[in-house]
Structures are given as C-alpha cells and as structure tokens.
Amino acid sequence: MNAVELQNVTKTFGRTKAVDELSLAAIDRQISTFRVAGLQAECPGVGLDLIRQILAQLRKEKKVKALGTGRGAKWEKLGN
C-alpha cells in the first residue's frame, strides 16, 4: 500500500491517523493470509471494531478478501 492509498483510507475514518497507519501497516506486513487475531496481537492499542472497519473499507476497495466468516476467518491481501 503506497502513501496515497494510506491517506485515502485514513481520511475515510474520523480517528487519529497514527492508529489507522498502525493498523494499515500491520495489514500491509502480512505475507498472504492472516487473521484478525494476528492483527490485534500486532496492534495491541487498536480495538477490534476499528480493525473490522478498516478491513471492511479495504474489502470495498478490493484490496483484501475474507476467506471465511466468524472468529477464525482468514483474510487474504489481493494484488500486492
């Protein structure tokens, strides 16, 4: 994810950019598939609801895809 994409996503939410950037950086560091629990472990100060909102926005932008539902769902980065 480049700086422009990061800014576009962070403008979408009304929170501090530092928290959004931390969450987006954690998603960007994932190699292929990942779980929300892994993101929570990498970003201990970021709430579950915020992570879900960011993933929903990234899914809408077709940057990630859910590979299941529920607590154990995996996510996959697309086109990176």
User: What pLDDT does 16 receive?
Assistant: 63
The structural domains of the chain, with segments of one domain joined by +, span 3-77
SS3 27: helix
CATH number of 3-77: 1.10.10.10
Q: Which residues 6+ apart lie within 8 Å of 17 measured at CB?
A: 10
> What secondary structure letter does DSSP report for 66?
E
E strand intervals along 1-80: 33-35, 64-66, 74-77
| Tens digit of each residue's pLDDT (9 = 90 or more) over 9-53 | 445 555 566 666 777 777 877 778 889 998 888 888 778 888 888
Q: State yes or no: pLDDT of 1 exceeds 50.
A: no
Torsion on CA atoms 9, 61, 54, 74, rounded to nearest 10: -150
